Structure 1
Amino acid sequence: MKKTGFTLIEVLVVMALMSIIFSIGYINVNKFNHKKEELEFNEVIRDVSEVIYLTKAKVMYEHSYAEIFIEEDKLTSIVNNKEDKVYNLKSGYKFYNYTPSIIKIFDMGYVEAGHVMIKNKSGKSKSISIKPVTGFIEIID
């Protein structure tokens, strides 16, 4: 008698091994996507911080005055009543709960305090706190 098929145990063992392999792959892809999202969010935070720091440095160098206007999807720095830099947030990100909506930087580097929250496309948010006088930036997760 010739045997032409697989036994039930052989099929179950192969299915169990394949499900283990696929589940490991799925977990790794999920971790990768989460890490990618976190790195992109940190890049947005870093870009916003750079706009503030560079505007402050320019004001101190030129002994001038600046304002950084915060809108829902962009920052606009105005130095000596001229538009200096516009930073548009990446798509899917937006500012919310920003107080005040204008950050003022005075000629000696004095910065008014402020607080900005940024939300990404998946609903996670991070907060940037601008310290008075020094303009140091604290990032709060």
Structure 2
Amino acid sequence: MVKMTAKPTVPMAMTAIGETHARSRITSRDVTATIDEPEARGGTNQGLSPTETLMSSLIGCTNVISHRIAEKMGVEMGEMQIALSAEFHRMGAMLEEEIDLPFSNIAMQIEVATNATPDQLEAIKTDLAKYCPIAKVIRGAGITITENWTSTPL
């Protein structure tokens, strides 16, 4: 179990400029990112689309929280490779019909180099489901996330 040692809440602030109908420049802290549509959808392909950004947030959160849990357990965890696939129901984004759950069948193939025992890896997976805020929001919306883990020794 991961114990909280930091403040329970921290302020989060972001600003954005919608540079075109398809491209936004987002700033948080001293970091700027671009969210854009591909050229086929009228964008300039300068960044991930909004939906790709959401899925990349899930990947990033999975990596960060897994490593934090492993560190707290005293387990070494090296490079993590994550492949995500999902079904995206675009009818809502195309303004054709309201879609309650635009994503289904989110699956992540997670390969990690670690010295964790099988039991420790199971504990990491269990705690990841408890503590990854992005996964919690997605699952809380009623969307299933399937994680398939494989490990290689460090």
TM-score if structure 1 supplies the norm length? 0.30
Structure whose alpha-carbon radius of gyration is higher:
1
More helix by share: 1
Structure number with greater CO (CA < 8 Å, separation at least 6) is 2
